[in-house]
Structure 1
Amino acid sequence: MKQARGEPAGSMAEQAPTPEAALLRRGRSARLAWLCLGLLLVGIGFVGMFVPLLPTTDFLILALPCFARSSPRLELWLLRHPRFGPALLAWRERGAVPRHAKLASCLGMVIGFGLFCWAVQPGWIVALMVAAVLVACGTWVLRRPS
């Protein structure tokens, strides 16, 4: 690094890291953050295999881009998984959701809304707002290719 004219030796300009070094340092910490997030999402997805109404595949779909940015080996492991791999590949390639998942999703939303209304007994405005969000989500799910 060249010393600017009139600048004393050992100044801040001389001690500042190069842009490449800062990028590498940031890259390493970003990869670690993506890896941790991906592992957390896989963990939640694993719990979802045993807890009713907690989705598994959704969390694995969210873990894929995290692993793509941090660990290609883990990304490949998910994509080649015998049980979840085909659904993850279908989502990645076509944005597809299997018919049974669409049915389960919409049924879960209807049951969830019914339980919400029964347990919380919200006012009609709140119930209408929640219903509107669920209808929008259901419409999006149903419009996905199968």
Structure 2
Amino acid sequence: MKILFWRSLVILFIILGFIGALLPGMPTTVFLILAAWAASKGWPQMDAWLLNHPKYGATLRAWRQNGTVPRKAKYFASIMMLLSAVMMLFTPAPLAVKVFTNVTMFAVAIWLWMRPEPTKTSQSSEST
């Protein structure tokens, strides 16, 4: 039952990550980090696949080892959150929802920019 729970989370996070790759304003890497975390709890084969993925593997390994986020990812995430926040202002959502959503994205952006960035030495050791 426990393995089914973790594997269900992995599948959910990978689906959300895939959607994020297609839709602007929705993150990809965050969901893949969550998928790798859940996979490490109950799906070692999927964990290995994610960590060795040609596009996202290096970022996932850097996050797992040092909690680092590349500057390019910070810029991209911040721009997408800003665009989402502006778009949110033009929706018919209640004011409380608009404020909560935008404040949450702002808090996430601050947290994101406080994360360390990979160093040249950690990037080169990951590629070997």
Q: Same fold judged by TM-score > 0.5?
A: yes
Percent identity of paired positions between Structure 1 and Structure 2: 34
Between the two proteins, the alignment pairs up a number of residues equal to 117
CA distance in 2: counterparts of 1:104 and 1:145, whole angstroms: 16
1:137 aligned residue (93, 103, 108): 108
After superposition, residues 45-60 of structure 1 pair within 5 angstroms as 45-60=17-32
Measure, in 2, the Cα distance between the counterparts of 1:127 and 1:70. Answer: 37
**Residue 10 of structure 2, aligned match among 22, 38, 41:** 38
Q: C-alpha displacement at 1:128, in angstroms?
A: 4.8
Compute the displacement of 1:53 (Å).
2.3
Unaligned runs of 5+ in 1: 1-28
- Mapped to 2, the partners of 1:139 and 1:96 lie a distance apart of 14
Q: Which residue of 1 aligns with 2:63?
A: 91
Q: Distance in 1 between matches of 2:57 and 2:82?
A: 28
After superposition, the C-alpha distances for 1:56-106 in whole angstroms (9 at most, x for unaligned) are 211110011211111111101110111110000111111111111111111
Structure 2 distance, partners of 1:128, 1:42, is 29
**Where do 5+ consecutive residues of structure 2 fail to align?**
118-128
- From 100, 103, 109, give the equivalent of 2:81: 109
Amino acid at match of 1:141: L
For the structure 1 residues 120 and 81, does the alpha-carbon distance in structure 2 shift closer, same or farther, using more than 3 Å as the test?
Answer: same
* CA separation of 1:52 and 1:110: change in aligned 2, threshold 3 A: closer
Superimposed CA distance per residue, residues 120-140 of structure 1 (whole angstroms, 9 cap, x where no aligned partner): 3755x7655444333221110
Give the alignment's TM-score, normalised by structure 2: 0.79
